[in-house]
Amino acid sequence: MAKADVVRAHPDFPWLSLDDPAGVEAFLKARGWLDAGESVRACEKPGEGNMNLTIRVRTNRRSLIVKQARPWVEKYDHIPAPWDRVQYEIRFYERIARIPGVASRMPRLLGGDTDAHALILEDLVGAESLTSLYSGEAFAETDVRHLAEYLGALHQATRGPADPAFMNWAMRQLNHQHIFEFPLAENNGLDLEQFECGLTAAAEKLRHDAAYRGLNRYTGERYLTAGPVLIHGDFFPGSWLRTPKEIFVIDPEFCFYGDAEFDLGCVVAHLRLAQQPRECAESFLHAYSEQPGAGNVQSPLLTCFAAAEVMRRLIGVAQLPLAVLSGSRAELLDRSRRAMVDQAWEELWE
């Protein structure tokens, strides 16, 4: 169903809009999310996001972040998405509130309404996304260590039997399709030549590599299998914010109980996509391994997740603002194949 059809089919739903500050104010007041005498002065777009409508609400007293999930991907509204995903994000914030090493690096949850598919968060004033890494900015060693500590604290504190409250099955199926299936599908309609001349041929070669496809299929099946820790599920520079003093993590709507290697592999993949040195990935993994209760990381599984993430960011829908030279996407795509087949994430660099 098209976006316009969905909106028409739910005339009583409180569809929020950046262009309707009065409507946003009425929405917040109805839920008691504004204090007495507080009014909305402006609504702004806080940054580039994919999944949800995100609004920075400036009132006469403070600044807040309001997120609303819709039954489509906000950036690509022709793609359907699970409408109930906000409940898992709310649960994540509620769960990590009891984990100091995690809660201290995330904004505070100020309220949630699952019927309106919305939540309200503390605004990290002055924070900027680390997507600047893709433009050649160096990844500060302190940021590397703090993010590794965050993941270590999250995984250690939640290790145990999979919690059914974090199944998040529909979101996992959506992510599985866009990581492991769509990029390798024949005639998927995505024009790869717009990203790099010759990338179509490189992708076609990968699609016919039986060994690679078999490993990719296994990795996708592992992604859909419950694991021993609560993972963030989308741990990449777009979910990292830096303030003048600290680094924070946001957007856990893809969270579920899975393998720690998925979060770790995502980091390795994006460090390579951002052309950070291999030593940066080594430092991150070393810092993670030093966290109490980090567990035994399976390098082959981490490698498979990292290679799949590189592949889908090069020839899938969710593109990145990569600062790369002509021919480098095809070369990196081949490196991701070799890393997957040889079970060595280091080959993403070598």
| The pLDDT of residue 300 | 97
The CATH number assigned to the domain holding 39 equals 3.30.200.20
Which residue range forms the structural domain that includes residue 267? 128-348
Is a pLDDT exceeding 70 seen at residue 134?
yes
> What does the alpha-carbon distance between residue 178 and residue 204 come to, in Å, rounded to a whole number?
17
Minimal CA–CA distance to 183: which of 205, 203, 208, 212? 203
Average pLDDT over residues 270-290: 96
**Are residues 91 and 159 both part of a single domain?**
no
Tens-place pLDDT, residues 143-171: 999 999 999 999 999 999 999 999 999 99
- From 101, 122, 143, the end of a domain falls on 122
| The pLDDT of residue 244 | 86
Is a pLDDT exceeding 70 seen at residue 1?
no
**Are residues 52 and 134 both part of a single domain?**
no
Enumerate long-range contacts of 205-210, CB under 8 Å, 24 or more apart.
206/311, 206/315, 206/333, 206/334, 206/337, 209/337
Tens-place pLDDT, residues 233-258: 999 999 999 998 899 999 999 999 99
| Count of the separate structural domains present in the chain | 2
- From 122, 155, 188, the end of a domain falls on 122
**Are residues 293 and 228 both part of a single domain?**
yes
> What does the alpha-carbon distance between residue 130 and residue 141 come to, in Å, rounded to a whole number?
14
Chain-wide mean pLDDT for the chain?
95
pTM greater than 0.85 (yes/no): yes
**Are residues 250 and 276 both part of a single domain?**
yes
Tens-place pLDDT, residues 41-95: 999 999 777 889 999 999 999 999 999 999 999 988 888 999 999 999 999 999 9
**Are residues 109 and 208 both part of a single domain?**
no
- From 72, 107, 122, the end of a domain falls on 122
> What does the alpha-carbon distance between residue 15 and residue 272 come to, in Å, rounded to a whole number?
38
